[in-house]
Amino acid sequence: EYPLTVHIKLPNGVEYDQPTGLFINGEFTKSKQGKTFEVVSPSTEEIVCSVYEALEEDVNAAVDAAENAFKNTEWATQDPSVRGRCLLKLADLVEQHAEVLAGIESLDNGKSLFCSRGDVALCSAYFRSCAGYADKVDGRIIDTGSNHLSYTRREPIGVCGQIIPWNFPLLMASWKLGPCLATGNVTVLKTAESTPLSALYLCNLLNEAGFPPGVVNIISGFGKTTGDVIALHPKVRKLAFTGSTATGRHIMKRAAESNLKKVTLELGGKSPNIIFNDADIAKAAQNMIIGIFYNSGEVCCAGSRIYCQSGIYDELLVEFKKAIANLKVGDPFDETTFQGSQTSQLQLDRILNYIDVGKKEGAQLITGGERIGGKGYFIKPTIFGNVHEEMRIVKEEIFGPVVTITKFETVDEVIELANNSEYGLAAGLHTEDINKAIDVSNRLKAGTVWVNTYNDFHSSVPFGGYAQSGIGREMGIEAFDNYTQVKAVRIKI
């Protein structure tokens, strides 16, 4: 039988004990059928370890543990500052374990340590932010005349099912857990099958932080055999999902056909990044790099469609190519690496296929366009020019280090182009003219607009999509609305 802990030595010499079990009711357990699956490090293609795979009976056990914690303990009803204290402690522990967590993320996901450290910092900051919210949930007293007292309370929903992707394994776990736990809910969280390791490590920190058994259950498994069971489960009252639009649509159907679970979705994108003639060209080029090559382009809000005004097109392209030439792609554990590997063979193949599609569609390959080396899933930063709006590489999410660049003339024209998408997650714009910045921000159809910056997050600022990019918001005060329900109480005097 496979052990519940394996000792791992990371390529940078850091050593740690990796849990492999299912985290149910505060303990790591083997799955009921004893099934495991292998975890591959995408930068070396070597097997790291195996983890236990949750199937239906394991999901049921996790949901039962969560329901028990919700119904039969004080978790949801106690002074909420106790929950805040657990989250504060968790934030501190994440910081104390930052180097191990960052290393696990680079090993499991392939992202550079530079990116992993950023994720860990955002993760602890977010837990701390949620801790501060725990004892600030309030209702209203509504004046309905002196014969009644009418007021509202915000109450937790109960057992949540949370399904997360592989591009930001630890950070997405924190975006899901933070508001859910601050508001007194309990959860069964499923990690993505290609990146289960950092969330399993987090489980030990959850115990140390004082979260009672059953409040958080974290399980590894696949979409169809684990995720689907969560989505259909009659005791799960809310689903929070991040991933592809196709799977999001499926999950919403499952929620509808089971017990009308509340659903929040954070889905795909094809976000425009607009550079106007009056932009600071050097800064814009840097933000274009951050926009599309950060995290190897595996970012839902990646600035994957660049629109550049004609007056600076040639100069900007030179700057952009120069910045790409200075960008180190390779070993995620090399301190100077910016772009690590893609996360899986599947994702590598998808991206290479899109590069082929772009060439066949007649786009001009300006730079990149191929895999690097034969081991590890590395792809050269890639720019396509001479594109038009009907090309698949302009319309579809590639989720890799591939960007298109299009020339435009007027503000009205670029707004039309930018908004011509089924998605609406984010948009970027670069200008030194404040009036233009505000006007264009107002007219872009996107849940986030970045001005003279890109992929720039803060715990207090909500994030989520317009159109087919999602439903609901994460982070900011808005996230807490998605984890509470309003009760109105009306007392006749």
- By beta-carbon proximity to ligand NAD, the closer residue of 197 and 209 is 197
Taking the complex as a whole, the smallest distance from the CB of residue 190 to ligand NAD amounts, in Å, to 6
For residues 295 and 110, is the Cβ–Cβ distance under 8 A? no
Helix (H) / strand (E) containing 65: helix 56-72
310 to 329: interface string for ligand NAD, x by CB under 6 A: --------------------
- Out of 247, 342, 421, 431, the only residue in the binding site for ligand NAD (CB under 6 A) is 247
Taking the complex as a whole, the smallest distance from the CB of residue 187 to ligand NAD amounts, in Å, to 14
Taking the complex as a whole, the smallest distance from the CB of residue 122 to ligand NAD amounts, in Å, to 14
Q: Give the whole-angstrom CA distance, residue 275 versus residue 314.
A: 12
- Out of 37, 151, 222, 313, the only residue in the binding site for ligand NAD (CB under 6 A) is 222
- Out of 24, 93, 101, 163, the only residue in the binding site for ligand NAD (CB under 6 A) is 163
For residues 453 and 408, is the Cβ–Cβ distance under 8 A? no
Taking the complex as a whole, the smallest distance from the CB of residue 219 to ligand NAD amounts, in Å, to 11
- By beta-carbon proximity to ligand NAD, the closer residue of 265 and 316 is 265
- The verdict on 251 binding ligand NAD (CB under 6 A) reads yes
Q: Which stretch binds ligand NAD (CB under 6 A): 7-15, 22-30, 163-171, 431-439?
A: 163-171
Q: Give the whole-angstrom CA distance, residue 122 versus residue 457.
A: 8
Taking the complex as a whole, the smallest distance from the CB of residue 230 to ligand NAD amounts, in Å, to 7
Number of residues that bind ligand NAD (CB under 6 A): 26
- Out of 167, 183, 217, 448, the only residue in the binding site for ligand NAD (CB under 6 A) is 167
124, 212, 244, 266, 379 from 483: Cα distances, Å:
20, 19, 22, 15, 39
- The verdict on 267 binding ligand NAD (CB under 6 A) reads yes
Q: Give the whole-angstrom CA distance, residue 312 versus residue 277.
A: 6
Q: Which stretch binds ligand NAD (CB under 6 A): 62-70, 181-189, 241-249, 401-409?
A: 241-249
- The verdict on 108 binding ligand NAD (CB under 6 A) reads no
Taking the complex as a whole, the smallest distance from the CB of residue 194 to ligand NAD amounts, in Å, to 7
Q: Indicate the residue type of 417.
A: L
- By beta-carbon proximity to ligand NAD, the closer residue of 243 and 291 is 243
β strands within 86-203, DSSP E: 141-142, 148-156, 159-163, 186-190
- The verdict on 243 binding ligand NAD (CB under 6 A) reads yes
Six-digit token string for 392: 């698949």
Taking phi over 0 as left and psi of -120 to 50 as alpha, with beta for the rest, 296 belongs to: left
> Tokens 């720039």 belong to which residue?
456
- The verdict on 56 binding ligand NAD (CB under 6 A) reads no
- The verdict on 297 binding ligand NAD (CB under 6 A) reads no
Residues contacting residue 457 through CB under 8 Å, at least 6 positions apart: 122, 463, 475
- The verdict on 395 binding ligand NAD (CB under 6 A) reads no
- By beta-carbon proximity to ligand NAD, the closer residue of 59 and 405 is 59
- The verdict on 399 binding ligand NAD (CB under 6 A) reads yes
Q: Give the whole-angstrom CA distance, residue 248 versus residue 231.
A: 11
- Out of 67, 119, 193, 319, the only residue in the binding site for ligand NAD (CB under 6 A) is 193
Q: Give the whole-angstrom CA distance, residue 29 versus residue 27.
A: 6
Residues contacting residue 386 through CB under 8 Å, at least 6 positions apart: 362, 363, 364
Rounded to 5 degrees, what angle do the CA atoms 334, 350, 105 make?
35
Catalytic positions are 266
- The verdict on 231 binding ligand NAD (CB under 6 A) reads yes
Taking the complex as a whole, the smallest distance from the CB of residue 266 to ligand NAD amounts, in Å, to 6
- The verdict on 52 binding ligand NAD (CB under 6 A) reads no
Largest CA distance in the chain: 77
Q: Give the whole-angstrom CA distance, residue 264 versus residue 372.
A: 37
154, 155, 214 from 135: Cα distances, Å:
12, 13, 22
Footprint on this chain of ligand NAD (rule: CB under 6 A): 163-165, 167, 190, 192-193, 222-224, 227-228, 231, 242-244, 247, 250-251, 266-268, 300, 350, 397, 399
